[in-house]
Each structure stands twice: as structure tokens, then as C-alpha cells.
Amino acid sequence: MTVRERRKGSLDKEGLFGSGKRGRRRNGGWYNCCVFGGVSGLCILALLLTFNLLLVLATFIWSSDIDSYLQNWGRPGSGTEGLAWYPTDFTRDVLPIPCHSHNDYWRRVPLFSALRAGCISVESDVWLFDNELYVGHNTASLQRNRTFQSLYVNPLVQILEQQNPRTDFYNGTDHGVFDVDSGQTVTLLIDVKTGGAETWPWVLKQLEPLRERGWLSFMQDGEVHIRPVTVVGTGNTPFDILTANSTYRDAFFDAPLETMWEPRRGAPGTTDWPSGSSSDPLDSSSDSDSEENPTSPSDTQDLGQGLSGTTPDSQFTPLNSYYASVSFGQSVGRIWRGRLNPKQIRIIRGQIRGAHRRGLKVRYWDLPAWPLGMRNHVWDVLIREGVDILNVDDLRGVSKIAW
């Protein structure tokens, strides 16, 4: 074998050997790249998850929940002893929204929690015992210090006194609760639980601090004057006693919405009426049998919302009523598949149409609260169809709605 052949064989071996080494190195590089890429990806994912968790925790810690403004309420040294504290900037950035604080007295801080959320209406259940009006859902929840005056009348007086200071620069009395909308009235819905004939005079008597300062909406000589607080009686509030004075009153009735359904005028196929209503409630001929079956207010006392002290001839107008209300479940019915059906929407539209034609504000109570998707759907439909006030329990939820 010549020198050239030996050298060529040696080069071939070196080339084969070198080629195998580079192949092994190339295979090892792909493996290391995959391992390094996987570990890096997991580390990035872990960092993202950790960052997201920190953001969630920060939201809970530093969120501007409405309750955070009230966490020191009533504590010694906080300036809130006796429900007397109401800083001038409490509603500075609060936008009034058309919501009603249902069972407001259940909240940790009645009245103020609702106002902080922007609600323009609150509800107080009152019971007459020992010549005093107590506030609670039932008799088991009544306490001596939780009275109509201590929880609602006196705080409203204090709020409005600070909103209407007597100074060298201002001496007015027409500013309402909300700084951003001083003309917005707050509706105080009083649900009378004990006998209406006995309880209602005490309600009117305890409203005197607001009345004497000119802060109650009133009707006088056929004209309604809106003031910072509008009182509406519901439950066993007697319609006949409330309307006894035909020239002046500073409280209004919660009328029965279920009697006000009417079709869209001129629309074909709208002559049929919802079940439970045999004829147009606006037609005076529908009461033609009232003489054959007379009903006096004494026969209808303490029958509940919209019925107490009424007769078939009772007429509900802005001069005697403010709300027109009804139980959503009883009037509209159960919701199936999480959505209102066309018949239910037709009932809602007809009732809203009838109430608005009378000049009254529509309110549905007993709204579904769960599941939240269905609740929000009902809220959206009611607002879209023209309901004036949304009856709510969840103040936080309603304050986040894009109104």
C-alpha cells in the first residue's frame, strides 16, 4: 500500500469518526434545547400565575368597597356615635342610580349604606308598640333602640342640615342628599306592618322634623311639589286615611301595579288581557258592578300593598300616589331557562304602559336573586322596558351595573 493510500484511509477514518461525533453533538443539542425550553416555559407560566394571584390579593386588600367607608361606624372617637356623623364629602363622588334598597334596615348601617351605593330609595318596615315605631322584618327582630326616628328620620335631618348650612354665603333649604344632583329626591318607603288605621297617624307625627324644615315632598291645591325626601306608604298604609285631606298631603301611596295593565293603543292582536284581568282597568265601565257589590274602605283595611283602604272606585294619580308596585313572581310568573318569555315581557310592558299613563313610577318587588346571570337578565330587561326603580338586595352588584 502506497503512502498516498494509507493517508487516504486515515483521512476516511477521521472523516467518519468526525461525522459521527458531530451527529451525536447535534442530537444532544436538540435534547438540551427542548429541556431548557420546557423549563423556561414552566418558569414563565409560574411567574404569570404568581403575578395574577398578587393582583387578585391586592384587589381584595385595596379595593374601594362601599363597606370600607363604614367599617369604623359607631366606634368611640370616630365621630359617628349615635348615627350623627355625615361628612360633607360622603356623597361627593356618588352618582344617584334608580335603585331601591329593599329591607334596608337589614344592612350593617341602614340608610347610609344605600346612599353610599347611590340608591335613591330606601325601605323601612315599621311596627307600632307602646306608642313608638320600631323597625324590623318581624317582631322577633325588634329592639328598643332601633326606631323609625333613630334609623331614618333623625339621620335624614342631620344629612340635610349639613347639605343646607346656614352661613353668610348660603341659606337655602332645597339641596338634596346627593352633591352631584342636589335636586334628586330620596324616597322613604314606609311599609306599615301593624294596623294601618292606628299606625299611620304615628308615622305622620314622627315625620314632623322633616316637615317643619320644608324637606318633604307634598301636594297642595292640586299641584305636587318635589322636595329632598318623598314619603311613600305601602303595606298596611290605608289609602282612604292617606287621601282624607284633599287639599294638602306630604305622603303618597304605593298603588297596585297589577290593576294597570293596558295594551299598546292601535296595535293589532292586543285586545286580549293577561290572566286575572277580565277588562281594561282604565275603563270606568269595569266598575259598573260596584253598586251591586259595594265595598267600603273598612272592608279592605290591612290587606297589604296597594289594597289597604281602597275600593273598586279608587283612582291612583300623582296627586295621591308615587309608586305603582307589584310582586314580580306573582304578576310575571316563574322564569324558565333563565330568560323571560314573550308573554312575560308583554305583561311587563302593559303594566309599565298603564302606570306611566297615570304618571306613576313602576317598581317590581320580589325579584329573582339567583342565579346571578338570570338576575342580571331581569334587571336589564326591566330597565330597558322603562321600570323607574329597581328593587335590589345586592347594593354592590347594582352599583357595578353600567347604567
If you average pLDDT over residues 374-381, what whole number do you get? 92
Whose cell is 322564569? That residue is: 335
**Is beta strand 252-256 parallel, antiparallel or unpaired with respect to 223-225?**
unpaired
pLDDT at residue 25 tops 70: no
Q: Please report, rounded to a whole number, the percentage of residues in the chain having pLDDT higher than 70.
A: 77
CA distance 403 to 401: 6
Predicted pLDDT at 234? 97
371 prior amide bond cis, ω within 30: yes
Task: Compute φ and ψ for 342, nearest 5 degrees.
Answer: -55, -35
In the predicted model, what is the mean pLDDT of residues 209-221? 96
Provide the 10 A C-beta neighbour count for residue 73.
16
The winner for highest mean pLDDT among 17-26, 52-61, 297-306, 356-365 is: 356-365
139 pLDDT more than 80 = yes
**Chain segment 342-352, per-residue pLDDT in tens:** 999 999 999 99
Q: State the pTM of this model.
A: 0.74
Joined together, the cell numbers standing for residue 90 give 360622603
Asked whether residue 5 is domain-assigned, the answer is: no
The answer as to whether 104 is a domain residue is yes
- 330's grid cell: 306573582
Mean pLDDT for the chain?
A: 82
Q: What is the CATH number of the domain that holds 226?
A: 3.20.20
Q: Confirm if 229 and 186 have CB atoms less than 8 A apart.
A: yes
> What are the residues whose beta carbons fall under 8 Å from the beta carbon of 116, sequence distance 6 or more?
66, 69, 70, 90, 91, 94
Would you say residue 250 lies in a domain? yes
Contact residues for 31 (Cβ-Cβ < 8 A; gap 6+)? none
Domain encompassing residue 322: 89-270+298-399
Residue 155 lies in a domain: yes
Residue 213 CA to residue 203 CA, distance in Å, equals 17
Q: How far apart are CA 396 and CA 97, in angstroms?
A: 12
Most trustworthy range by pLDDT among 168-172, 197-201, 301-305: 197-201
Does some domain include residue 4?
no
pLDDT confidence bin for 64, thresholds 50/70/90: low
What is the percent of the chain with per-residue pLDDT over 90, rounded to a whole number? 52
Would you place residue 45 in the very low, low, confident or very high pLDDT band (cuts 50, 70, 90)? confident
Q: How does residue 33 score in pLDDT terms, banded at 50, 70 and 90?
A: confident
Name the nearest CA neighbour of 5 among 143, 367, 13, 256: 13
Query: Residue 76 falls within a domain, yes or no?
Result: no
Per residue in 73-132, pLDDT (tens digit) is 666 766 566 554 444 556 777 889 999 999 998 888 899 999 989 999 999 999 999 999
Give how many domains the chain has, as a whole number.
Answer: 1
Domain-located, residue 174: yes
pLDDT tens per residue, range 244-273: 999 999 999 999 999 999 998 755 544 444
| 283 confidence band (pLDDT: 50, 70, 90) | very low
Q: Are strands 119-129 and 97-101 parallel, antiparallel or unpaired?
A: parallel
Cβ atoms of 384 and 345 closer than 8 Å: no
pLDDT higher than threshold 60 for residue 279: no
Distances (CA, A) of 395 to 102, 146, 372, 398: 10, 22, 13, 5
Q: Are the CB atoms for 116 and 87 separated by under 8 Å?
A: no
The terminus-to-terminus CA distance of the chain in angstroms comes to 99
Residue 37: predicted pLDDT: 74
- Set of cell numbers at residue 358: 297615570
Band (pLDDT 50/70/90 cuts) for residue 288 is very low
Q: Which residues of 163-189 are buried (b: 16+ CB within 10 A; e: fewer)?
A: bbeeeeeeeeeebbbbeeeeeebbbbb
Per-residue pLDDT band at 301 (split at 50, 70, 90): confident
